[in-house]
Amino acid sequence: MNIKSGVKGLDFILQGGIPLHSSVLLEGSPGTGKTTLGIQFLVEGAKNNEPGIYLSFEEFPSQIYQDMKPFGWNLDQYEDNKLIRVIGISPETIVKDMLNPDGLFEKLINELGCKRLVLDSLSVINYLIRDEYELRSSVYTFRNILRKKGITSLIITEENDNNCFEHYIFDGVIKLRKTDILEGVPQRTIEILKMRGADFIQGSHTYRLTNNEGVYLVPMNRNIRNIPLVGTENIPTGVKGIDMILGGGIPKGEIYLIDVDSHSNYKYILIALMVNQLKRGDKVFVLLPDDLTISLLSSFFEQYGLQLYNLIKKQDLLIIDQFNRITDKELHPYILKVDELSNEEFSNFIQKNIRNILLERKNKGENWLIIYDMNAALHLRGEQYIKNILPLVTSITRGLEFTSIRICNTRETSTVTSEQIKRKSTGIIKIWSDSKYQYVKVDKSPNGFTSRPYIMEEIEEQPYFKFV
């Protein structure tokens, strides 16, 4: 179970908030907003009837009250309602008093019914206790008391190296930094280094200290959304990892580019996309890649319990083959062969035949997923042809409001063509390999979200891969 931190962006990257009853180290240099975040954490608790204590070794309560007013927090009112207490106390008193069951620290917790606590700061205790064994023992004792009492806490400290003993003792480590200069202004970032028993979004996330809101964090890779072209319905891809990243699937009517390299195996993702649409009762139109034959496609479909021949004959699956490949005589009438068409003839074929077929099916109320392998067209017809045909294909799919998947190795095109392909795509899923792993990353999406790189691992169960 998690509790809200008071910072929406932080709760987002912690995937729900701070784990209940955990003790989290809040680490950063002066001016990074540690005190502000600590008070914000307590204010959020007060709003939810979770009383909290702020223990300060260096600042007077009156000064903290004054410093927090620009953020719109009336700490006096919370104190009158017995929801927040800001206490100025010496570190010596806390250290000596911790083990006393009738001591001040115990009384403060019991009197308020404390659920949240902020200690500011652990660094002062480090300066006070010079013996390393005694210091570790005192910190362990303090953490264990908080656990015993069921208190969720933020423990403020100065910036440490990543191997300090405190990182091992506490359940989580949140690091605040002042980083690169942007247009002459230093940037502040938050990074979760550790959160025991919880998943979180890795990386450095930018935040601001704002009036009336305090710490306002913008999770990285959360960009401005595009205006949806066709409602807000998301079409599940059947790939759990992608659906999770995209917030439920690909928005209906959008154009996605699967940007691959020459070593990556994207067929499993492609098959999973096709199978999921067909099992939903939707239709699929596919321009076959050079390494995916009718026979191989049939074998893949059988693993999912689908009969390719039946789907093709029922025209639930329409296939264009760009290569001069032998096709089963029974299926030959149903496969659209374009290997003998010139570039001009192929363009006319798309503009008239394909568009009319899809328009007729749309008028019947059918939803279609269009998959277009651009790599084959690049090799067979040239880069200039792709540049010329791309606006036509885009206008057709946009006009029909069908979801479209394009597959292309943009690294094998010129910069101009690569940028044109990416610009004409409302979403980009990048797949690439190194000598050890294959990776997947969402670089662009209509909902504004992108992702970190995920490793693609082969597994025995459908869809035969997972994202790690």
Alpha carbons 64 and 372: distance in angstroms, whole number = 61
Contact (CB, 8 A) for 94 and 103: no
The predicted structure's pLDDT at residue 230: 42
The predicted structure's pLDDT at residue 291: 83
- Could you give the angle at which helices 294-303 and 267-279 cross, rounded to 10 degrees? 60
Alpha carbons 9 and 345: distance in angstroms, whole number = 53
For residue 373, the SS3 value is strand
Alpha carbons 338 and 311: distance in angstroms, whole number = 21
Maximal C-alpha separation, the chain: 91
The predicted structure's pLDDT at residue 221: 66
| Token output for 93 | 């008193």
Alpha carbons 97 and 104: distance in angstroms, whole number = 7
Alpha carbons 366 and 281: distance in angstroms, whole number = 9
User: Which phi-psi region, left, alpha or beta, contains residue 335 (left: φ > 0; alpha: ψ -120 to 50)?
Assistant: beta
The predicted structure's pLDDT at residue 99: 65
Alpha carbons 173 and 23: distance in angstroms, whole number = 9
- Per run of 10 residues, the mean pLDDT along the chain (length 468 residues) is 93 92 93 94 96 92 92 92 92 77 81 94 83 85 89 91 83 89 75 90 87 88 52 74 77 90 88 91 90 88 92 92 80 84 91 90 92 88 88 87 92 90 91 90 82 85 83
Phi and psi torsions of 356, nearest 5°: -65, -40
Contact (CB, 8 A) for 266 and 258: yes
Question: In a 10 Å sphere around its CB, with 0-12 CB exposed, 13-18 middle and 19+ buried, how is residue 136 labelled?
Answer: middle
Domains and CATH numbers, the chain: 2-218 (3.40.50.300), 234-467 (3.40.50.300)
Beta strands in 45-138 (DSSP E): 52-56, 84-88, 116-120
- Nearest CA to 89 out of 81, 78, 97 is that of 97
- Output the CA–CA distances (angstroms, integers) from residue 305 to 299, 308, 460, 462, in the order listed: 10, 10, 16, 11
